[in-house]
Amino acid sequence: SPERKPLIAGNWKMNGLGASAPEFVRVVGAYMGPLRNSVDLMVFPPATLLTSFATSTRGAGVLVGAQDCHAEPFGPYTGDISAEMIADAGGKAVIVGHSERRACHGETDAQARAKAEAALHAGLIAVICIGETEAERKAGQALEIVRSQLEGSLPDAATPKTVVVAYEPVWAIGTGLTPTIDEVAEIHGFIRGELARRFGDEKAAAFRILYGGSVKPGNAAELLHVADVDGALVGGASLKADDFLAIANAAA
Ligand code: PEP
């Protein structure tokens, strides 16, 4: 859609050491060319690399972010990182409600929403993840799960500039499986409709809705050209600059 610039976001998860910086620097370097006009790029390294990655973007336009944040700005929360700290380290965005946080750390919609609110308060873009499990899809509950996660996880203050929705069917993450084009179109259209019910048509039309789950160079063009798919959240394939850039070029 012309009014929604595609966004390709790379989630490195718990991968990456200082020695991985050259891969990121290659992405940044390539982005200095024509790609920058047609696609937005974000990279979410582990928190240990946030400062060095944020420094090495040097105004290149690639936004760097964190993979999670605490809902409070500071306090006795050992091991956690706040949205303020992410902003202070040069981060511009944060992923909240990722299915791995929901599954491994028991995060709820209410927590994802509180984290997204904290992100907005700190001036960060919140990339809010939702998506059904395999059992939920098989039981015919995909739309209802997505509806309730969307309602529960998005702050009322969400705007198209401050919030990105990522639809990530849990069964497609890291499995090599993807929904059919028709299934992606159905869910993304449904999400757009739910956003319109809550925020009005005009605002809903401007939100970016990413697809995530086993996006690779070989399937990116097909997935990215589905109506209401405004980009991708990429896990595994974001670790290699060539693959990530091929996906970004498929969005251009
Ligand atoms: C993700 O974890 O956000 C993701 C989409 O992972 P992958 O691309 O590896 O399936």
Domain ranges of the chain: 7-251
Q: Give the model's pLDDT for residue 169.
A: 98
Whether residue 221 is predicted with pLDDT greater than 60 in this model: the reply is yes
> In whole angstroms, how far apart are CA 189 and each of 64, 146, 192, 194?
28, 12, 5, 9
How far apart (Å, rounded) are the C-alpha atoms in residues 96 and 120? 12
How much distance in Å is there from the Cα of 176 to the middle of ligand 1? 10
For residue 93, how many other CB atoms are within 10 A of its CB?
A: 22
Say if CB 70 and CB 77 are below 8 A apart.
Answer: yes
* Block residue for tokens 């693959």: 243
How much distance in Å is there from the Cα of 1 to the middle of ligand 1? 24
Q: Report the share of the chain in percent with pLDDT over 70.
A: 99
ipTM of the complex: 0.97
Q: What angle do CA 211, 214, 215 make, to 5 degrees?
A: 60
The model's confidence at residue 3, banded by pLDDT at 50, 70 and 90, is confident
Q: Which of these, 17, 42, 14, lies nearest to 104 by C-alpha position?
A: 14
Say if CB 10 and CB 67 are below 8 A apart.
Answer: no
How much distance in Å is there from the Cα of 35 to the middle of ligand 1? 22
How far apart (Å, rounded) are the C-alpha atoms in residues 84 and 210? 25
Give the SS3 label for residue 42: strand
Beta strands in the chain, from DSSP E residues, in sequence order: 7-11, 40-44, 63-66, 93-96, 125-130, 163-167, 208-212, 231-234
Mean pLDDT of the chain: 96
Decide if 225 is catalytic.
Answer: no
How much distance in Å is there from the Cα of 170 to the middle of ligand 1? 9
Arithmetic mean of pLDDT, 128-152: 98
Chain segment 177-208, per-residue pLDDT in tens: 999 999 999 999 999 999 999 999 999 999 99
Decide if 121 is catalytic.
Answer: no
- Please name the residue whose Cα sits nearest to atom 7 of ligand 1: 235
Whether residue 1 is predicted with pLDDT greater than 80 in this model: the reply is no
- Please name the residue whose Cα sits nearest to atom 8 of ligand 1: 235
CATH number of 7-251: 3.20.20.70
Chain segment 39-92, per-residue pLDDT in tens: 999 999 999 999 999 998 878 999 999 999 999 999 999 999 999 999 999 999
Catalytic member of 98, 107, 136, 194: 98
Binding residues: 11-13, 174, 214, 235-236
**Measuring from each residue's beta carbon to the nearest atom of ligand 1, which residues come in under 6 Å?**
11, 168, 173-174, 212-215, 233-237
Q: Which residue did the predictor score with more confidence, 134 or 57?
A: 134
Output the pTM of the full model: 0.98
- Please name the residue whose Cα sits nearest to atom 2 of ligand 1: 235
- Please name the residue whose Cα sits nearest to atom 6 of ligand 1: 235
Q: What angle do CA 47, 53, 58 make, to 5 degrees?
A: 145
Binding residues for substrate: 11-13, 174, 214, 235-236
- Please name the residue whose Cα sits nearest to atom 4 of ligand 1: 235
Q: Which atom of ligand 1 is nearest to the CA of 129?
A: 3
How much distance in Å is there from the Cα of 75 to the middle of ligand 1? 31
